[in-house]
Structure 1
Amino acid sequence: MLDTITHRFRSWRKYRDTYDELSKLSNRELHDLGIGRTDIEFIARRASR
């Protein structure tokens, strides 16, 4: 049970870190990476798997 809680917390933390970092980028920087602002949540979810 503790492993499950730890895993979920780490996944959530990685999601938040990714989401926050991408959100800080300007639209131009995101465009240069080929990312739209609406893609941030999807990318953060994939990164947290």
Structure 2
Amino acid sequence: MAFASNIHDSVRAPRRAGLFANLIERVSRYRQYRQTVNELGALNARELADLGICRAQIRALAFEAAYRDQA
């Protein structure tokens, strides 16, 4: 009986590792998104204008920065 449970654990282990890696990547990307939103949101209107950004674009730009290579 112990042998059968070991087989099942060895089959599930790679899936768990993949799920954990996926979770880590998603959290990392979300943190990058939030950091970009927070940093751009802290700028005043003049600083944003100097960068060529209007306040309405901040979330879209942050999303692109965090998730651009994921499609």
TM-score by length of 1: 0.97
The corresponding residue for 1:30 is 48
Residues 6-39 of structure 1 show CA distances to partners (whole Å, capped at 9, x for unaligned) of: 0100000000000000000000000000000000
Aligned positions, number: 49
Identity of aligned residues (%): 39
| Cα distance between partner residues in 1 of 2:30 and 2:24 | 10
Unpaired runs of at least 5, structure 2:
1-18
Moved over 6 A (4+): none
1:3 matched to which residue of 2?
21
TM-score, normalising length: structure 2: 0.68
Q: Which one has a bigger Cα radius of gyration? A: 2
Q: Identify the residue that residue 39 of structure 1 maps to in structure 2.
A: 57
Higher relative contact order (CA 8 A, sep 6+): 1
